[in-house]
Amino acid sequence: MKHVPENLAASPDPTSTPEDLDVVDQAMLDLYGPAGLKQFNELYQENSDWPLEAVIRRLSEQVISTQTQFYREPNLWSIATGAIPMLQGERPNKPIGILEIGCANGKESYSLAAAILANGHADFQVTAVDVNPAKLEAARLAEYKLYESFESLMEQNWSFPQPVKKAGYFEDTGRTWSTYSFAAPYPYIRPSREVLEKVTFQQHDIIDGPVAGEHDLALINNVLVHYPDATRDTIMRHAIASLSPGSLMTFEAKMIGRNPNEVAWLKPYHAWRDTMPERFGLTTVQPPNTLALHGVFYRTPEAV
């Protein structure tokens, strides 16, 4: 993949050399997949006077769909089919407060709300927090390219269930987009009003402290993996303190590394996950109609 801008040699950044680029290409491919690599190349060409690091930083700040996707984790369905009815049985006549930590661009938040509605439950509210204001802006804008990037193949073939769209939880905006990667045009979509009303976004750094409000279930997918152990512990303490006693927590199912680097990167996280429940006084729960394979659930202590 050739993307070396003509003037790269004149880049003020002494660490950016053409020799690095193959490595960078590979890293972009590993991290973000082919569409992410394409986006990286486009950004690089558009800003050919920028040092490489600036391009990478901008890419990571951009709301690229590769950081999340609709219905990315199956625990969203487990919340909808199992955890919500279980909590409703335990806390009758009370709306179930869901706290999503690390909501990114909102695709997960809206998927969750739509999944719960599609399972016939309406008495809930999602508070979705993220540290990144650009992602929250996109979440509030709530207009998405359907089939946007490499995960979009999954959105197209598997994870974006057409029945949910057909049931009216997502709708076309009327705008379309195209790309040379896939056949075109594809729609821009947005959540329906019913789904939008179920989610509130808030900027919050969970490392700084708990989220105010009454929450009965915390969803923390693909956030803890990015931090060192001590920070993971801080996040856990603040997440538990954001919940009413005896609430539920759920995390993404254990990942299997796709290459030796990823396996090595995941190893300390897996070790941390193995000891985390006991260290935080969490007990494993399996809500009815759910499989552990699709995401794990824990009960927080009754007395905190």
Ligand X SMILES: C[S@@+](CC[C@H](N)C(=O)[O-])C[C@H]1O[C@@H](n2cnc3c(N)ncnc32)[C@H](O)[C@@H]1O
Give the residues lining the site for ligand X (CB under 6 A): 67-68, 72-73, 101-102, 104, 108, 129-132, 135, 204-207, 221-223
User: In whole angstroms, how close is the CB of 102 to ligand X at the nearest point?
Assistant: 3
* Nearer CB in complex with ligand X: 21/235: 235
Alpha-carbon gap, residue 110 to 155, rounded angstroms: 14
* Nearer CB in complex with ligand X: 247/250: 250
* C-alpha separations of 221 from 16, 84, 143, 254 in Å: 34, 17, 22, 10
Give the DSSP letter of residue 180.
Answer: S
User: In whole angstroms, how close is the CB of 108 to ligand X at the nearest point?
Assistant: 5
Alpha-carbon gap, residue 304 to 300, rounded angstroms: 9
Contacts (Cβ under 8 Å, ≥6 apart) of 14: none
Cβ atoms of residues 113 and 191 within 8 Å: yes
* Nearer CB in complex with ligand X: 72/190: 72
* Nearer CB in complex with ligand X: 55/101: 101
User: In whole angstroms, how close is the CB of 72 to ligand X at the nearest point?
Assistant: 4
User: In whole angstroms, how close is the CB of 220 to ligand X at the nearest point?
Assistant: 8
Beta bridge partners of 298: 249, 284
User: In whole angstroms, how close is the CB of 114 to ligand X at the nearest point?
Assistant: 15
User: In whole angstroms, how close is the CB of 74 to ligand X at the nearest point?
Assistant: 11
Give the DSSP letter of residue 149.
Answer: S
User: In whole angstroms, how close is the CB of 73 to ligand X at the nearest point?
Assistant: 6
* Nearer CB in complex with ligand X: 84/223: 223
For helices 18-46 and 52-61, the axis angle rounded to 10 degrees is 50
Measured over the CA atoms of residue 225, residue 226, residue 227 and residue 232, the dihedral's sign is: negative
Beta bridge partners of 86: none
* Nearer CB in complex with ligand X: 8/56: 56
Look at residues 156, 163, 155 and name the one whose alpha carbon lies nearest to residue 114.
163
* Nearer CB in complex with ligand X: 8/195: 195
Cβ atoms of residues 219 and 75 within 8 Å: yes
